Amino acid sequence: MNEISASEAHDWVGELAAFLRDEPAVSAVRIDPVARKVEIATIGTVDLDELQVRLTATIAAVEAQTAGRHASRPPPGFSLRERDGTTELSRDTCVTAERFWHWRELEWPAIMPEPTDGGPEWKELAWLAGICGVAGLGGYAVETFGPGLPWLAQGLYIVGIAAGGWDAAKDAWPNLRTLKLDIHFLMLAVAAGAMAIGAWSEAVLLLFLFSASGAMEAFALDRTNREVSALLRSAPKKAIRLGPEGEEVEVDVDELHVGDTVRVKPGEAYAADGEVLAGRSASDESTLTGEAVPVEKNTGEGVFSGTLNLWGAVDYRVTRLPAESTLQKIIRLIRSAQKLRAPSQRFTDRFGPRYTYAVLGGSLVMFLGWWLLLGLPAFHNTPEVRSAFYRAMTLMVVASPCALVLSIPSAILAAIAWGARHGVLFRGGAAIEKLAEVTVVALDKTGTLTTGELSVVSYESFPPGRENAVMELAYALEAKSEHPLARAIVRDAKQRGVRAIELEGFRNIVGQGVRGEYAGAQALLGRRELLQSGPLAKWAEKLPPAPADLAEVWVVGRDVLGRVLLRDQIRGESKAVLAALKEMGIRTVMLTGDRRQAAEAVAHEIGLDEVRAHLTPEQKVSAIEDLRRSAGGGRVAMIGDGVNDAPSLAAADVSVAMGARGSDAALEQAEVILMHDRIENFLSAERLSRRARTIIRQNLSISLGVVIVMVIATVAGVVPLAAGVAAHEGSTVVVCLNSLRLLFGRNR
């Protein structure tokens, strides 16, 4: 790790230092606010539970203050290091002592911060810009229509310059202390130069437009942050937990544990992810999916933290801790997306500071050239001839990269905000840019193109006539299982009112099925291989195969042999989504581990271009690499949801995961997450990315075009300072407004 300078230290470093002072047994703290990881280095034995409690307040301060603000240098006696988003604060000690440190990872506290008081930053900037504009207009009016009052006009101009330059001065000062120059310094230098030659109105105009464009940029960022704040406010802080006797006990949400039974009443929000045990209702899940249509909730169905229970009282079992709920996962993903930058954005970040120095140096060279080589007056302006300094100030304005630097991040932030509000989460701007270049989309079958929830089609008996016995035995054998096949059989049996019978000696047969005893005989339920490896092997060879689009489960008992046929339901939206992708020139390919017949039956029904079936995870990776080679320079996107999809997601150019059913491994690899498993959201994401790419190109064309044209005109001496200011800052405003079209437009 490399030491970082004092000016780069965040103001929450003091909170970490205070924690270390109070905890002599802790030698260092290492935190990653985006990944929500915290580790401590200790020597000897410590009370981890006590440390966890004391660390909670510190982490609360960290979460509240990691907004990029600068602070004073680390306190004496401490060293600060930073690498890959992880910050480590340690006591100053000898190198050998660090060898004895024992690093331990603690749980990141489930903190629900209250909304901050006061208005957002863009409102303050808007007020300052407004004061600057009004004062500037007042000064111009007095100067033009009120002769004899130059002191009043100049006073109003000074008020306008102070208001318009206040935020720029605040941003430039920390960099000046470390001898770094940025765009804010450039604008202040031009304003000071304009005042020096008596161009007060031009100085006010420059700072008004600069502060106004800054307010618009802050507004776009605030819209993104508002999505996170809305999610935070939707997270409940109290929950009603049911006791052993069914009594209601109100507890804090961070006291809930997996397996607890929680009751939520009409109009209340679910405190954690869970599964409905009793009751019937509907949920408003718009905070997660962007869709306002209520979603019905019955026994056995999932509910999500932060969503609203609309009308019925519901008891549900907690399946995820509140800190690891779908809602908290979304919040963390949005926060990390805001900090991850697109490749083109990183280019402008590197390009901006260098360009600033180039503008300053070029303006100085042109000043000397106009003055010493062309013989123009250095500072004295006349109605006929503008001075060399005046022209240099104009050149500095028109060549400044304000609009260029804002071209990409303003569009990326607007796209991330729109996606968060409509059920599409991007992990940074790179995903948005790459998705626009996709020419091939690979899709997993189960859980992606289909719902992943099986439904019973029919029961068969061999010989026919004992279908009811097959139902009863299948119901009894699957009643204690959580497998998707079991859920489908149990759900169907309850709907049919099948008689419940009791089994003895129930146990799983790993990878094959389940077994038990009924009426003194062994009962089995599982794959066809169970029959093929037993005494019925020869007879099993004559049994008919399952239809191509169905799955089968065999049931064997005393005088009972039969099977249950099940079908994975195709998502209703899959066909329309694939048709729309085909219209956009995108080839679609199914990559699945299922049987070829079943995969081709689904592909034929929904209109896929190609099917690659019966693939292992390694073969899926090879298929992605093959598709990339045949993509003709385009990119390959992979959409999946399971653990077996994680390797192929990592191999794809753009990885997309289904948000609700997606495994942690798949979500960890995904750059784009489709909340609530809505495959149609991928279409929205694709359209959004293409629209964002178009707007970024427009922004770059506008910003660079204005700079080139105005620089040429300024060198030719035909552009007054006021026109240069208006053109430069006007292009910045246009770029911000153009980017905001992503935030308010329709991308569906």
Catalytic positions, written as ranges: 444
463 cis-preceded (ω within 30 degrees of 0):
yes
Q: Exposure string (b/e) for 171-193, b if CB count within 10 Å is 16 or more?
A: ebeebeeeeebbbbbbbbbbbeb
Residue carrying structure tokens 């161009």: 199
Structure tokens at 491: 């759900």
Cα 175 to Cα 182: distance, rounded to the nearest angstrom: 8
Angle between helices 183-196 and 150-177 (to 10 degrees): 150
Helix extents (H) in 586-720: 596-606, 617-629, 646-651, 664-669, 680-715
Cα 683 to Cα 438: distance, rounded to the nearest angstrom: 12
Amino acid, res. 744: F
Sheet with strand 450-461: strands edge to edge? 450-461, 560-570, 551-557, 521-526, 513-518, 504-509
Angle between helices 121-145 and 200-234 (to 10 degrees): 160
Cα 374 to Cα 388: distance, rounded to the nearest angstrom: 9
Alpha carbon separation from 71 to 9, 28, 61, 66, 732 (Å, rounded): 6, 20, 14, 11, 30
Structure tokens at 154: 């100049």
Structure tokens at 713: 């005109």
Sheet with strand 86-91: strands edge to edge? 2-3, 78-83, 86-91, 26-32, 37-42, 102-106
Sheet with strand 281-284: strands edge to edge? 295-297, 281-284, 308-309
Contact by Cβ (8 Å): 447, 642: yes
Alpha carbon separation from 372 to 116, 380, 388 (Å, rounded): 57, 14, 9
Amino acid, res. 442: A
Cα 39 to Cα 3: distance, rounded to the nearest angstrom: 19
Structure tokens at 450: 């289909």
CB atoms closer than 10 angstroms to residue 507: 9
- Measured in degrees and rounded to the nearest 5, phi and psi for residue 666 equal -65, -45
Cα 735 to Cα 732: distance, rounded to the nearest angstrom: 5
- Measured in degrees and rounded to the nearest 5, phi and psi for residue 438 equal -70, 130
Residue carrying structure tokens 């260098």: 354
Sheet with strand 438-443: strands edge to edge? 424-426, 672-674, 654-658, 635-640, 438-443, 587-591, 610-612
With 0-12 / 13-18 / 19 or more C-beta atoms within 10 angstroms meaning exposed / middle / buried, residue 569 is exposed
Amino acid, res. 148: G
How many residues are present in the chain?
A: 748
520 Cβ neighbours under 8 A, 6+ residues apart: 558
Element (H, E) at 13: helix 13-22
Structure tokens at 292: 């306002």
Q: Exposure string (b/e) for 350-389, b if CB count within 10 Å is 16 or more?
A: eebbebbeebbeebeebbeebbeeeebeeeeeeeeebbbb
Q: Hey, what long-range contacts does 620-627 have (CB within 8 A, 24 or more apart)?
A: 620/591, 620/593, 620/644, 620/645, 620/647, 620/648, 621/647, 621/648, 621/651, 623/442, 623/589, 623/591, 623/648, 624/442, 624/591, 624/648, 624/651, 624/652, 625/651, 627/440, 627/442, 627/589
With 0-12 / 13-18 / 19 or more C-beta atoms within 10 angstroms meaning exposed / middle / buried, residue 444 is buried
